[in-house]
């Protein structure tokens, strides 16, 4: 049985960070490595990364003639996945289709379509394998679905390591900003916090669990790339786990450069751990600063303050660890708020910032609160990218709101001293690549400003 595992290219209207990063499809690599041994000889599975593919989807289908196609994606991919499934079944009426990924697990009903046979809303690897067995044994799709739906959502992760060789032809093109080439690893699942806007904890229904350190170290040792992005929703959480992680890396003489996600309060309260992580290769931390306004932080149930955020930024700067700050821009922002935000970020010498309009994603705590105020149609999936303005600004036009976001970004990021620093640290070639990517995102914003959104 021929199987294609497909990562779609984003819709052209999606304002995407794919212009400055393309990460490996880890979830698809897990599917390939965990096909059971007793049916492996009866399957031929291949990953198709449409972000990097030069051939069209139709040409690939004509050449490969798959029996089963599985898609992965976020909310922004829902429409594209449905279209691709329809195109596949139009070309090959016999083909079976499935879809998994984080959005399928939280809002599976979005994928209801006559062209999609299986939606994996929990335990995706197990559901995929049940489907393979069923199709090999010529079972009816409805019978296979019943078997998939019987299981409860797991809170353990006892699977083989992802098959990174399955994306060998794409591998050198996977990167995250200046981390190039870059591999991914996941060491924990879910998030122990309860921020109202966050989608992450919904994926595991509020559960949080981690892998054993020995298992993590063993996988890290198998990764060829020096640059590694640890894609946990919050890697900087447990002091003891981090101490063990540092000790085991040193004991096993593993030398990597790490990018992680971490909370500002942990960094502010654990400078010693941050400095120790620096010694074993921590290069950069993505931090959800979210806001400089106390009321916003309280409303988001963030559990931090502006003072905590400032201390976090100071510690990372003193430790020579790059900060990738993310902030949420709510619809009640005035021009004065943008000016204050820019002044605050410039004062703290923040070099990288992602300014995201408040986006109440379906499945999050705040979706019901805002759903009557959302400007975009629910089915216009491509604009739910945390970059489009989906809530009407209260004190300016939509165009003006886009302009203020873009202007704030350039005032923070494109300072001459920052550009000189980045060229010195990463080289001219890497900076030109980032400039080209950020220019494409800026152009998408300018289109929103010039045209009526």
pLDDT at 244: 97
Q: What pLDDT sits at residue 452? A: 56
Which pair of structure tokens corresponds to residue 139? Answer: 């079972």
What pLDDT does residue 200 have?
75
Domain-by-domain residue ranges, the chain? Answer: 2-150, 164-412
pLDDT score, position 29 = 99
pLDDT tens by residue, the chain, 453 residues = 999 999 999 999 999 888 899 999 999 999 999 999 999 999 999 999 999 999 999 999 999 999 999 999 999 999 999 999 999 999 999 999 999 999 999 999 999 999 999 999 999 999 999 999 999 999 999 999 999 998 778 877 889 999 999 999 999 999 999 999 999 999 999 888 878 777 777 777 778 889 999 999 999 999 999 999 999 999 999 999 999 999 999 999 999 999 999 999 999 999 999 999 999 999 999 999 999 999 999 999 899 999 999 999 999 999 999 999 999 999 999 999 999 999 999 999 999 999 999 999 998 888 989 988 999 999 999 999 999 999 999 999 999 999 999 999 999 999 999 999 999 999 999 999 999 999 999 999 999 998 754
- CA dihedral defined by 210, 211, 213, 219, rounded to 10 degrees? -140
Q: Can you tell me the distance from the alpha carbon of 80 to that of 31, in angstroms, rounded to the nearest whole number?
A: 21
Report, in angstroms and rounded to the nearest whole number, the Rg of the chain calculated over CA atoms: 22
> With helix as H, strand as E and coil as C, how does the chain read?
CEEEEEECCCCCCCCCHHHCEECCCHHHHHHHHCCCHHHHCCCEEEEEECCCCCCCHHHHHHHHCCCEEEEECCHHHHHHHHHHHHHHHHHCCCCEEEEECHHHHHCHHHHCCCCCCEECCCCHHHHHHHHHHHHHCCCCHHHHHHHHHHCCCCCCCCCCCCCHHHHCCCHHHCEECCECCEEEECCEECCCCCCCCCCHHHHCCCCCEECCHHHHHHHHHHCCCCEEEECCCCCECCHHHHHHHHHHHHHCCCCCEEEEEECHHHHHHCHHHHHHHHHCCEEEEEEEEECCCHHHHHHCCCCCCHHHHHHHHHHHHHCCCEEEEEEEECCCCCHHHHHHHHHHHHHCCCCEEEEEECCCCCCCCCHHHHHHHECCCCCCHHHCCCCCCCECCCCCCHHHHHHHHHHHHHHHHCCHHHHHHHHHHHCHHHHHHHHHHHHHHHHHHHHHHHCCC
The CATH number corresponding to 164-412 among 3.40.50.720, 3.40.640.10, 3.20.20.70, 3.30.365.10 equals: 3.20.20.70
pLDDT of residue 196: 78
Q: Tokens at residue 352, please?
A: 């990288």
Report how far residue 437's alpha carbon sits from residue 425's, in angstroms, rounded to the nearest whole number.
19
Fold observed for domain 2-150: Rossmann fold (3.40.50)
Cα–chain-centroid distance for residue 240? 26
- Tokens read off for 347: 């004062």
Q: What is the pLDDT of residue 157?
A: 84
């Amino acid at each position: 049985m021929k199987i294609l595992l497909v990562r779609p290219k984003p819709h052209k209207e999606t304002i995407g960070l794919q212009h400055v990063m393309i990460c490996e499809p880890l979830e698809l690599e897990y599917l390939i490595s965990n096909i059971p041994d007793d049916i492996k000889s009866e399957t031929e599975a291949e990953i198709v990364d449409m972000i990097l593919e030069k051939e069209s989807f139709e040409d690939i289908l004509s050449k490969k003639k798959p029996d089963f196609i599985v898609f992965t994606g976020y909310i922004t991919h829902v429409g594209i996945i449905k279209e691709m499934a329809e195109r596949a079944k139009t070309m090959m009426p016999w083909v079976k289709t499935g879809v998994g990924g984080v959005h399928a697990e939280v809002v599976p009903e979005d994928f209801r379509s006559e062209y999609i046979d299986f939606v994996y809303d929990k335990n995706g690897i197990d559901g995929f394998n049940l489907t393979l067995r069923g199709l090999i044994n010529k079972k009816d799709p409805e019978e296979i679905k019943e078997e998939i739906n019987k299981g409860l959502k797991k809170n353990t992760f006892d699977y083989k390591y992802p098959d990174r060789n399955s994306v060998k032809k794409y591998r050198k093109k996977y990167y995250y900003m200046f981390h190039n080439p870059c591999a991914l690893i996941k060491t924990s699942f879910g998030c122990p916090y309860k921020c109202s806007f966050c989608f992450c904890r919904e994926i595991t229904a509020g559960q949080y669990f981690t892998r054993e350190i020995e298992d993590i170290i063993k996988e890290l040792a198998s990764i060829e790339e020096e640059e590694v992005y640890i894609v946990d929703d919050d890697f900087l959480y447990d002091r003891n786990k981090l101490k063990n992680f540092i000790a085991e890396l040193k004991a096993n003489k593993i030398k990597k450069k790490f990018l992680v996600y971490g909370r500002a309060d942990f960094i502010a309260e654990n400078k010693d751990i941050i400095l120790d992580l620096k010694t074993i290769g921590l290069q950069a931390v993505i931090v959800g600063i979210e806001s400089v306004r106390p009321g916003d932080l309280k409303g988001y149930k963030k559990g931090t303050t502006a003072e905590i955020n400032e201390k976090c930024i100071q510690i990372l700067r003193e430790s020579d660890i790059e900060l990738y700050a993310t902030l949420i821009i709510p619809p009640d922002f005035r021009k004065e708020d943008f000016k204050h935000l820019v002044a605050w970020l410039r004062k703290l010498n923040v070099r990288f910032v992602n300014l995201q309009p408040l986006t109440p994603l379906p499945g999050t705590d705040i979706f019901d609160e805002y759903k009557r105020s959302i400007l975009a149609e629910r089915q216009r999936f491509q604009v739910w990218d945390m970059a489009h303005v989906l809530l009407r600004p209260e004190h300016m036009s939509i165009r003006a709101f886009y302009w203020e976001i873009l202007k704030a970004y350039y005032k923070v990021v494109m300072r001459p001293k920052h550009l000189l620093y980045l060229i010195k640290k990463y080289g001219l070639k890497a900076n030109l690549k980032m400039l080209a990517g950020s220019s494409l995102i800026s152009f998408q914003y300018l289109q929103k400003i010039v045209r009526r959104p």
